[in-house]
Amino acid sequence: MPGIKDRIAVAGVGATRFTEHWEKDQEDLLVEAVDEACRDAGIERSDIQAIWAGVYYHTTGMGGAAAVDPLRMYGVPATRVENFCASGMDAFRNACFAVAAGVYDIVLACGVEKITDSGSRGLPNVREGLHPFLPAPSAPAMFAMAATRAFEVHGWNKEDLARVAVKNHANGEKHPKAHFRRAITMDDAMNAPIIAYPLGRFDSCAVSDGASAVIVTTPAVAKTLTHKDDYVLAKANGLSVYTANPMYKPSFDYLGFPATQAAAKMAYEEAGVTDPFEQISLAEVHDCFTITELLNYEDLGFCKKGEGANFVRDGLANADGPLPVNPSGGLKSFGHPIGATGCRMIGEVTRQLQGRAEGVQVRDPELGLAHNLGGPGAVCSVTILGRQ
């Protein structure tokens, strides 16, 4: 299998600010992100030959027209991608595959979500009540049950969670497109109201709106565009889908997410990464909740099982540490407009590798990792990007 390693180039990236966009609709956000990505790449919309758009909420999703209509790109092949919270990075994956297959030269991967049109308290209700009688946990509840197990088995506590929030908010303070641009203290994090015990408000990412876009092409074409000298290469993508109902699976231990472990293994093999802690220069990981980030460290092989809390406590994930995690501020600072997150992460890692990160620029990165997790750990997409 040839895979995508070094056969795909990121020619341009764009994103809106992630925040409560009361005065903009989903269409406005997507146009803004795509326009920025096209300008960044130095192309026109008419150069785009196909589109993959990550949109999760069916109430706002209109198939491929969700992208074609606002962009007025009538007639262009477009597919809406929905794969839980990893919808955005799965749009990128499909775009990469189409270019690697040789079908297209220049395609658009993008994602958008307008969450606050359904209110700003938690995610709109999709699964709850769909089944006549089986209860469905809220998103915080699902990850809270992982935290409860980690407290029991690893002896972790609220302070371990709070350190993740403090680190990511410190980074997000410096990012112009973050929803929350304010550092917080351990006290802030520890004393916030509970959302789903043991997770409090600062353990949870916010409800935000946003859009993001990535121009995907071949290295040969990228050499003719704006970033001809600093386009970024895709080194690997791994996608793994596990169960959407782990609470009914007797062997599920809640101490990690098998989808991440499997997707990471695929990506590392394709990229030739054997020691992720040494080889990965920075990572944007899916910190929908603080407990998720701690478990991600372990699932991605940055540290051993049970050592996630130490990893952040020892500063290893700090922006100036050996393996900066979420130098952008992560979902903690950006919120999580579902379909938009995956391509935003690709954009963050791309800009880091190009040395033009918005917010905290890490020093001399070679390889960057982006990790997008969806559902109750049901879907994971891991992308590795590298310099030419």
Q: Is 276 exposed, middle or buried (0-12, 13-18, 19+ CB in 10 A)?
A: buried
Strands 106-114 and 209-217: antiparallel
Q: Which is nearer to other proteins, 119 or 272 (CB)?
A: 119
| Contact map string, positions 234 to 253, toward other proteins, x by CB under 8 A | ---------x---xxxxxx-
Among the options 38, 85, 303, 380, which is catalytic? 85
Active site residue 85: yes
Q: Is 154 a catalytic residue?
A: no
* 175, 179, 286, 336: the active-site residue: 336
- In angstroms, what is the minimal distance from the CB of 188 to other proteins? 19
In angstroms, how far is CA 140 from the centroid of its own chain? 17
- Residues in CB range of 187: below 8 A, 6 or more apart: none
For the purposes of burial, counting CB atoms within 10 Å of the CB of 366, is it exposed (0-12), middle (13-18) or buried (19 or more)? Answer: exposed
Cβ-contact 112, 24 below 8 angstroms: no
Least distance from other proteins to the Cβ atom of residue 63, Å: 22
Q: Tell me which residue of 143, 48, 52 sits closest to 89, measured CA to CA.
A: 52
Site string for other proteins, 55-84 (x = CB under 8 A): ------------------------------
Total site size for other proteins, rule CB under 8 A: 41
Which residue's CB is nearer to other proteins, number 138 or number 226? 138
Rule CB under 8 A: is residue 158 a binding residue for other proteins?
A: no
- DSSP H or E stretch at residue 11: strand 9-15
Q: Does 132 sit near other proteins (CB under 8 A)?
A: yes
What minimum distance in Å lies between the beta carbon of 129 and other proteins? Answer: 4
Task: Please report where in the chains the tokens 């565009």 appear, as a residue.
Answer: 225
Residues 340 and 88: their CA atoms lie apart, in Å, by 6
Nearer to other proteins, 11 or 145 (CB): 145
Task: Kindly tell me which residue out of 63, 101, 194, 274 binds other proteins, with binding defined by CB under 8 A.
Answer: 194
From residue 384, give the alpha-carbon distance in Å to each of 168, 285, 379.
21, 12, 17
- Residues recognised as catalytic: 85, 336
* Residue ranges that bind other proteins, judged by CB under 8 A: 118-119, 121-125, 128-135, 137-141, 144-146, 148-149, 152, 193-199, 243, 247-252, 254
